[in-house]
Each structure stands twice: as structure tokens, then as C-alpha cells.
A and B are shown apart, each in its own frame.
Chain A
């Protein structure tokens, strides 16, 4: 279940907190009544987004974007704000003018949440997460379309390798033929290759085997007569 929900739901909570919390802390400076209720509600998210964007662009200008640089930058921003608040409070206590106090406007009173309401809200959250998990399971299943992959690659040592990967969802028997024109240069079988498994075969040096331009590698399923997959190696 946890895996179906992006491995770690706590990380999502942390991500939301990172978007909202530093900005929310900064916005504590704003008197509650200074903004319309809906604007004040979303302003934490907006400032959180803006903060990350600006910090990111500035970080890029002086260094690289890494986890520690992000953390350091955010600590500096929030710490700087904290210091400013303390300085501002001390300034007020010295008799200097206080920060502006704003006219009051409409504000929300959070309603009392009844137990039944809470149960329904939690149930809604649970069902929604279940819906996502169900959709993910369905999408994963759709990605299991049976297939076989055949490819050729050259190793650092200069050896040409032909690889077969079975993704058919069941154990498979394959036969591989290497041809130069009508002449078969090599032939081998891959027996009982389990689904998800891969078989690799080193080709003998091709240059010695054929005078023709291209070599064709054909993969057959079990006793099929027509090739199921094929490759062409130009020379």
C-alpha cells in the first residue's frame, strides 16, 4: 500500500510543509486582518513557491543546487527573519514606532469539527488514496504487455554481444541465427529463459566470417519459422 502511494507518504507531507511552513513563518509578521481571508490562506503557498524560486535562482548564481545548499539557504532566510523580528521587537520596546497595525477585515472562525465530520473527512482521504493505489495497480498491469527485446552491443574489449530479454510474462524458448546473406554463420538456442531474464551471447569475430556487407541476427520463438525479432550489423 505504501509503495503504491509513492513509497513514502511522509515525504509528501514534508514537501507540502516545505512549501508552506517557511513562508507561513515569514508571514506571521503580517497582521491577521491585512488581507482578505482567501488571499491570506493561499498567500503562504504563493510565498513558499516564490521563496524557493528566488532562492534557487540566487543559489544557481553563486553555487550549485544541492540538498545541503537548499537547507543552508532556507535556514539563512528563516533565521534572518527571526533575527529581524527580534530586532524589530527590541526597537519597539525602545519606544520607536511600531510596525503598522492594519484595519481589521473579515476573517474566518474555524468551525468546531464534530467527530462524525472528522470520520467522514478521514474516510474521504482514505478512499481517495485507495483510488490512486487502484489506478496505479491498473496502470502497472497495463505496462506488463508481453514482449521480447533483442539487441546488439560491443563491449569495451571489442566483443560483439547479442542479448535477448524475455518480457513475455512466461518462460520462453528461443533460437538465434546469425546470417551473412543466405549463409548461417552461427546458431544457438536459449532454452527456458524466465520472464524478466536476459541471455547474452558473444559473437565470434564477424570480420573473419563473411565477405558481405551486413550481417543479420534473427531471433525465433521456439519452433517458429519466421523471425520474431531481427538485427542488422553493418560493417
Chain B
């Protein structure tokens, strides 16, 4: 039985269960899922030669969206109050 056969369902279960577990427990489950998927990903790459390596995404666009959402919430709850 391969590593991915064992760990893929484990990671999926952790991912789907994590939102219903509040606080640190849910965070730990998400972290375990991420670590499991890391191992699955390495195992799944098999013997095909890697020519292009995936890059890490920029956080900037999402952070701009977060700041915009906060401003919207402030406007919604406070209007133009100073």
C-alpha cells in the first residue's frame, strides 16, 4: 500500500473535520493535514523528472482584500462616525 493511499484520506478527513473543531484543536488538525499532504505530494511526484518548480503565491493581493473588507465592516458598523 502506497504512502499516498494511506495519507490522502487522512488529510481529507482532517481538512473536513477541522472547521467543526474550535480553537487550537482545529488549527492543529489543519496543520497535520498540511504536513500529510506535503508527504503525499513528494510521494506522488514519482519518477518523472521535475523541470518546472511551483512558486509560492504572493500574499499582497489577498491582504489588500482583507484591508478592504475591514474598512467595509467599519463603514457598515460606524458609518461616518469619527
A and B are partners in one complex rather than unrelated chains: no
Q: Which residues of A contact B (CB under 8 A)?
A: none
